[in-house]
Structure 1
Amino acid sequence: MGIPTLRDGEVAIRPIRLRDARALERELVENRRWLRRWEATSPHGPAAFDARAGIRALLANARAGLGAPFAIEVGGEFAGQLNVSGIVYGSLSSATIGYWVSERFAGRGVTPAAVALATDHCFFGLGLHRMEICIRPENKASLRVVEKLGFRYEGLRRRYIHIDGDWRDHFCFALTVEELPQGLLRRWRDGRVPASAATIPDQDRVAAMRPLRYP
């Protein structure tokens, strides 16, 4: 199944293309300070960034049925990326969503709209059962996205993903298709998001502030 273009007002997500490489590089350079703390890195050391090679890898992953890479647009302008990764079917039927937007679009409801559009596509277009988002405890803007959309908090994952040069703890949130008979976008726009779904227990907040101790 091809990757569609999906819209909610001025926000759209569409398949990322090789010709997006220049815009992607420009946004990453201009938003370096804004994005660096949240960028995935390699535990084996720094690697040169090649936007076209990165897009090719995402497209190859999509052709294999393992992902769905989107560009986020606002009013037709390139605004960021949303990537559905780790798609599996069968008894799990699940995937993970990651995203970023340029600083100038923050606070305008762009990211929640993009995540809702992608989640609905995964549930009702791809037939998946569960969608997951994992967020660093320090990333308040991203945590606000799952709060707005009502993703359920599922737990703390210690030293889960290599981000900004080290293994970082992440809070995990998820939704299943049974929770959204009318879709995530409609639930959000209709103001029917459960108020406490994304609440993080105090003990997990405290644990995330402490280094993981080894025997």
Structure 2
Amino acid sequence: MNPIKIRPAVPDSPADAAALAAAVLRNRTYMRPWEPYRTEAYYTPAGQAERLADGGRRWFAVDETEDRETGGRIAGVATLSGIVLGPFRSGSLGYWVDPAYGGRGLATALTEEVCRAAREDLGMHRVEAGTLLDNHASQRVLTKCGFERIGTAPRCLHIDGEWRDHHLFQRILHDDPPPRG
């Protein structure tokens, strides 16, 4: 296997859109129990290019190569979405790692990188995340990365054909006041 690198995904990169489409298609069956319904367009480079272009999210890729021309083989992805600055300074973390790359600490490294970028690049105060009640692996990753469980949201998201409860977690990144102005 090539070296693994965590990097920002590039919103206007056809190579990243193609590599991400290949990754989500490759992991379609694996991800089904944790994902909302997806149209067929979602699994195409055009569908992933549209997602990458969503200005309300920051994207991070776990890439098996540093060759940005080919887009590499994406082994996992994280998003920081719902970013609100001002006095709230918060956002929501979502992530997944291809099971072929499991057990190597990639989800932990990916989560830490998103938290680092949230604090250092955006000056965010907190990051939140939710997991299905039975997603113990993600709960372990979040706990290992300093997230605390703050509650349970009944029927939070429509996942795999039904409304599913989620445990909610947060990580406080700092207690500095927000910038003035």
Tell me the TM-score normalized by structure 2. Answer: 0.80
Q: Alpha-carbon deviation of 1:175? A: 1.0
Deviates more, 1:86-95 or 1:27-36: 27-36
Q: Alpha-carbon deviation of 1:58? A: 3.1
Aligned to 1:123: 119
Asked if the contact 2:6/2:60 (under 8 Å) is kept, the reply is no
Aligned to 2:107: 111
Q: Percent identity of the aligned residues? A: 34
Aligned to 2:50: 57
The amino acid across from 1:118 in the alignment is V
Asked if the contact 2:18/2:48 (under 8 Å) is kept, the reply is no
- What is the alpha-carbon distance in structure 2 between the residues aligned to residue 57 and residue 171 of structure 1? 29
RMSD: 2.2
- What is the alpha-carbon distance in structure 1 between the residues aligned to residue 5 and residue 92 of structure 2? 21
Q: Alpha-carbon deviation of 1:75? A: 5.0
3-state SS, counterpart of residue 61 of structure 1? coil
Q: Which of 26, 34, 48 is residue 30 of structure 1 equivalent to?
A: 26
3-state SS, counterpart of residue 25 of structure 2? helix
**Structure 2 unaligned spans of 5+:** 67-72, 176-181
Deviations 1:130-164 (A, max 9, x none): 10011101112211211221201100001101111
- What is the alpha-carbon distance in structure 2 between the residues aligned to residue 113 and residue 125 of structure 1? 17
In structure 2, do the counterparts of structure 1 residues 154 and 25 end up closer, same or farther at CA, with 3 Å as the change threshold? same
Q: Alpha-carbon deviation of 1:12? A: 1.2
Tell me the TM-score normalized by structure 1. Answer: 0.69
- What is the alpha-carbon distance in structure 2 between the residues aligned to residue 28 and residue 61 of structure 1? 17
3-state SS, counterpart of residue 178 of structure 1? coil
